[in-house]
Amino acid sequence: MEEAKEAGARTGVRYVDVAVDQAGLRLDKFLGEQLPGVPRTRLFRIIRKGEVRRNGGRVTPETRLAAGDRVRIPPVRIVAEPQTPGPSASVIETVRQAIIYEDARLLVLDKPAGLAVHGGSGVQFGVIEALRALRPAETLELVHRLDRDTSGCLLVARTPAALRAAHAVLREGRSEKRYLALLAGRWTLGQKRIDVPLRTDTRVGGERTVRVDAGGKPSVSDFRPLQVLGTRSRGAPTVSLLEVTLHTGRTHQIRVHAAYAGHPVVGDDKYGDAACNAELRARGLQRMFLHAHSISFEWPGGVPFSASAPLPPDLAATLERLAP
């Protein structure tokens, strides 16, 4: 019996030059524009297999493209795939209510904890998909990312020009991002800069795991203590509230730097203190205590921008329960 052939047309090898207005795009985004309808998982797979090349060299999905780069796009079979359901009406409404500021360039959201910023890795959709469903006439792109369990300020660009400008600001270290984090134990290090490189490409059991590594990417965080909470005499674990300022934006940076300092983020199941997490969970904390409190920078031309998001009620309630 003749084997059934895979349905769908197969593209040929193409070489595409990156246009000026595409400069700064991540490779996965650029590839998605060139191969519409191909699932992100397949795009990531062909990139990681080395089938996609920039100027003849291997690349990663996160690679930023420059004007004039030549990208090799391999043959890909375009297969009609079943439509996956989009964000529900309740998720779209949650995201709509999370918008705390907007102007001609940006949307600012106070992202709820538990909601991914985008689909992928077992998540069908996230904030950006819900925003696109809410505003189908706009071209919306994430300026940066937050962990799924982190709440707070999330920036979304409304135009390609705004995306490129904001990416340049972040890439050049001209922004100030501040977080509030509750850490296990009594912090006794004072104001402390942690400047240790992080390797972000390690996977353990299929999950990304970031670790301190001399061969990793430069990573710098400033920790400033605000308050010590909890008393063993009252049966509550001792924890410390800190403000953390990021000077680089590595995956899981605060969580790994905090653990490296001996005071992991409370509620962090990957890098945290299991005993402390269990004690705080018994007192009502149901997620990681990490909140993107504020972000500020200057647009090209010196125009200032800043946004902030207050501590959400669940985290504020945890502080109240632990107060002396």
Token pair recorded at residue 22: 């595409």
Amino acid (one-letter) located at 149: D
Q: Is 195 a catalytic residue?
A: no
Identify the active-site residue in 28, 110, 147, 149.
147
All residues at 6 or more sequence positions from 146 whose CB lies less than 8 Å from its CB, including other chains: 111, 117, 152, 154, 292
Give the strand pairing for 290-299 and 303-308.
Answer: antiparallel
State the DSSP string of 119-175: -BTTBS--HHHHHHHH-TTS--EESS---TT-EEEEEEESSHHHHHHHHHHHHTT-E
Q: Which of 149, 158, 139 is nearest to 111 (CA)?
A: 149
Residue 9 parent element (H or E): strand 9-10
Please name every residue paired with 265 in a beta bridge, in sequence order, or none if there are none: 183
Kindly list the distances between the CA atom of residue 283 and the CA atoms of 87, 267, 276, 322, in Å, as whole numbers in the listed order: 32, 12, 11, 9
| Enzyme catalytic residues | 147
